[in-house]
């Protein structure tokens, strides 16, 4: 299974806030192969974001094991985790999370600052990344001078700039109108096809979900494929691959 970028085994995440104990993830096991484009779907509160933060090393599971690109993550200290986030992971958030005081170019260059890339190379690569997402003419604008779709493109350029193994996007189109959302999803698909980047997308949008190679469905913190049809009307095979709807026999 050396091609698995993500290998999660029996992972649970429990938030223990005194009297209200929330089991956000309940014994979830899941693998994602290199180059896959995977959707994570499920009703609100089902644990999608929690699963993403664990895959993204932003949080640690309460129990279970997680191998990221072959690395056993429970053995990493905080500095090593930061290094892995910097080198192997690219995050895209629903609310973009660009730093407001920095220009598009500076925002995109930020991961390279933490990778100790020199100033000249940083600028060149950040510029190339922005050009790749179609923002070559917006290098020196600050986030408040950009549209939602442009902001998300800046965020994508920033996520890609250190050539990560996985792109993690939590509802990347949630704050965008549907046309812009489609453009963003097309960009993901293009990156996945052309550069072989593994993409994991959390989405509520059935249309978005149908474009995925495979869908992982969550309900109450557990893997549950039945929920997919129930909530989104999407049918999948046993492996979670989207199958075109079979017309009802009249």
Partner 1 sequence: MWGEQLRMAWQSLRANTFRSLLTMLGIIIGSSTLVSVLSLGNALQGQVFERFIDLGTRRVAILPGDPDANGARVSSGYGLLSIKDFNALDKMVTTHPDIFRTIVPEVAIKVRARSGTVEVDSLVVGTGADYQKVQSVPLEAGRFFTLEEELDSDRVAVLGSLVTEDLFGKGVENRAKAVGQTIIINGQSIKILGVIKGAGGPFSSDQRILVPSGTARLRIAGNQDLPGRGLKMSSILLGLRTEGVVTKAEALITATLRDARNVPVGAIDDFKINSPTQALGILNGINSAITGFIAVVAGISLVVGGIGIMNIMLVAVTERTREIGVRKALGATDRDVLGQFVIEAATISLIGSFIGIGFAVALVLGIASAAGLGMILSIPAVIISLIFALGIGIGFGYYPAKRAALLLPIEALRYE
Ligand X SMILES: Nc1ncnc2c1ncn2[C@@H]1O[C@H](COP(=O)(O)OP(=O)(O)OP(=O)(O)O)[C@@H](O)[C@H]1O
Q: Which residues bind partner 1 (CB under 8 A)?
A: 53, 56, 58-59, 78-79, 82-83, 85-87, 91, 93, 97, 99, 101-102, 110-111, 113-116, 119, 158, 162
On whether the CB atoms of residues 218 and 47 are closer than 8 A, the answer is: yes
Binder of residue 44, out of partner 1, ligand X, Mg ion, none (CB less than 5 to 8 A by kind): ligand X
- How far the first Cα of the chain sits from its last, in Å, is 44
Please choose which of ligand X, partner 1, Mg ion, none residue 45 contacts, taking the beta carbon within 5 to 8 angstroms, the exact cut-off set by kind. Answer: ligand X
State the nearest-atom distance from the C-beta of 86 to partner 1, in Å. Answer: 2
Q: How far apart, in whole angstroms, are the C-alpha atoms of residue 250 and residue 89?
A: 48
Segment holding 65, helix H or strand E: strand 63-68
Q: How far is the CB of 217 from ligand X (least distance, A)?
A: 11
Choose among 166, 159, 165: nearest CA to 98. Answer: 159
Q: How far apart are CA 172 and CA 211, in angstroms?
A: 14
- Taking Cα atoms as reference points, which of 225, 240, 229, 221 lies closest to residue 13? 221
Under the criterion CB under 6 A, does residue 50 sit at the interface with ligand X?
A: yes
22 contacts which partner out of Mg ion, ligand X, partner 1, none, CB within 5 to 8 A by kind?
Answer: ligand X
Measured distance CA(119)–CA(106) in Å, rounded? 11
- Tell me which of Mg ion, ligand X, partner 1, none is bound by residue 56, counting a contact when its beta carbon lies within the kind-specific cut-off of 5 to 8 angstroms: partner 1
Q: How many CB atoms lie within 10 A of CB 21?
A: 9
The site partner of 127 among partner 1, ligand X, Mg ion, none (C-beta below 5 to 8 Å per kind) is none
- The token pair at 179 is 């046309």
Binding status of residue 49 toward ligand X by CB under 6 A: yes
The binder of 114, among ligand X, partner 1, Mg ion, none, by C-beta within 5 to 8 A per type, is partner 1
Q: Does 49 bind Mg ion (CB under 5 A)?
A: yes
What b/e readout covers 41-78, taking b as 16+ CB neighbours within 10 angstroms? bbbeebbbbbbbbbbbbeeebeebebbbbeeebeebee
Q: In angstroms, what is the minimal distance from the CB of 124 to ligand X?
A: 37
Told to check if 48 binds ligand X by CB under 6 A, we report yes
15 near ligand X, judged by CB under 6 A: yes
How many residues bind ligand X (CB under 6 A)? The answer is 12
- CB 234, min distance to partner 1, A: 29
| Contact (CB, 8 A) for 6 and 31 | yes
Q: Output the smallest distance, CB 64 to ligand X, in A.
A: 16
Binding site for ligand X (CB under 6 A): 15, 17, 22, 24, 42, 44-50
């Amino acid at each position: 299974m050396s091609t698995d970028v993500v290998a999660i085994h029996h992972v649970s995440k429990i938030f223990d806030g005194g009297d209200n104990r929330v089991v956000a993830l309940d014994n979830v096991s899941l693998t994602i192969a290199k180059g896959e484009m995977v959707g994570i779907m499920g009703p609100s509160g089902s644990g999608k974001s929690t699963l993403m933060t664990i895959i993204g090393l932003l949080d640690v599971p309460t129990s279970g094991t997680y191998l990221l690109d072959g690395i056993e993550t429970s053995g990493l200290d905080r500095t090593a985790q930061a290094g892995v986030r910097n080198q192997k992971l690219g995050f895209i958030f629903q609310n973009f999370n660009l730093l407001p005081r920095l220009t598009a170019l500076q925002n995109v260059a930020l991961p390279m600052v933490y990778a100790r890339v020199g100033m000249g190379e940083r600028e060149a690569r950040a510029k190339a990344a922005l050009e790749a997402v179609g923002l070559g003419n917006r290098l020196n604008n600050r986030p408040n001078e950009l549209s939602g779709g442009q902001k998300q493109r800046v965020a994508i350029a920033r996520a890609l700039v250190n050539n990560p193994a996985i792109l993690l996007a939590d509802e990347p189109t949630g704050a965008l109108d549907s046309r812009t959302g489609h453009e963003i999803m097309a960009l993901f698909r293009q990156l996945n096809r052309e550069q072989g980047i593994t993409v994991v997308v959390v989405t509520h949008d059935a249309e978005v979900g149908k474009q995925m190679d495979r869908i992982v469905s969550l309900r109450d913190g557990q893997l549950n494929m039945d929920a997919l049809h129930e909530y989104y009307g999407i049918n999948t095979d046993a492996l979670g691959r989207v199958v075109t709807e079979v017309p009802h026999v009249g």
